[in-house]
């Protein structure tokens, strides 16, 4: 009886964490409205600025620290998608399969994660240097 109850408990705990991981993150149109106007153009205060030479940035340990901090502020599924795509260089089909998302959802996640990272770096790195 005890083994059976522990087995049920173990499965319930696994189901709970699995559902939390698979939980879709709903980001409404207000997220996009933050960066773009009604004509889908950049709002002046969020327009991307020139970041200079990217190779120099990647060799700067302080920039790497700022990037890591901004990366940590992303929702878990967004961070996983970005890591699999750009750091581990997996193809989109494999990422969609691993994260159990559709291709269109994957590209939407990547787009929104890039916007969020760019905005975070602009605030936390480029405006401070």
| Residue 103: pLDDT over 80 | yes
- Number of other residues whose CB lies within 10 A of the CB of residue 57: 17
Do residues 46 and 34 touch, judged by C-beta distance below 8 A? yes
Domain membership of residue 3 (yes or no) is: no
Residue predicted with more confidence, 60 or 75: 75
Label residue 123 by pLDDT band (50, 70, 90). confident
CA 121 to chain centre: 14
Domain membership of residue 13 (yes or no) is: no
Label residue 118 by pLDDT band (50, 70, 90). confident
DSSP secondary structure string for all residues of 73-119: TS-HHHHHHHIIIIIS---HHHHHHHHT--HHHHHHHHHHHHHHHHH
Domain membership of residue 12 (yes or no) is: no
Domain membership of residue 110 (yes or no) is: yes
pLDDT for 66 equals 85
As a whole number, the mean pLDDT across the chain is 78
Q: What is the CATH number of the domain that holds 49?
A: 1.10.10.10
What CA–CA distance (Å, rounded) separates 15 from 21? Answer: 10
| Cβ neighbours for 23, distance < 8 A, ≥ 6 positions apart | none
Domain membership of residue 16 (yes or no) is: no
pLDDT for 64 equals 82
Cα end-to-end span (Å), the chain: 64
pLDDT for 3 equals 79
- At 104, list the tokens: 């269109």
pLDDT for 63 equals 81
* Host domain of residue 89: 25-126
| Residue 24: pLDDT over 70 | no
| Residue 16: pLDDT over 80 | no
39-49 pLDDT, tens digit per residue, is 777 777 766 66
Domain membership of residue 122 (yes or no) is: yes
Domain count, the chain: 1
Per the listing, tokens 């916007």 go with 115
Domain membership of residue 66 (yes or no) is: yes
| Rounded average pLDDT over 102-106 | 89
Domain membership of residue 73 (yes or no) is: yes
């Amino acid at each position: 009886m005890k083994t059976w109850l522990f087995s049920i408990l173990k499965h319930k705990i696994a189901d709970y964490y699995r559902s939390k991981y698979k939980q879709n993150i709903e980001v409404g149109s207000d997220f996009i409205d933050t960066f773009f106007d009604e004509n889908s153009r950049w709002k002046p205060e969020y327009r991307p600025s020139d970041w200079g030479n990217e190779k120099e940035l990647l060799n700067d340990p302080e920039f790497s620290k700022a990037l890591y901090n901004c990366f940590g502020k992303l929702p878990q599924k967004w961070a996983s998608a970005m890591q699999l795509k750009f750091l581990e260089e997996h193809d989109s089909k494999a990422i969609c399969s691993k994260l159990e998302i559709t291709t269109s959802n994957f590209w939407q996640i990547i787009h929104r994660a890039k916007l969020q990272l760019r905005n975070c770096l602009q605030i936390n790195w480029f405006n401070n240097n």
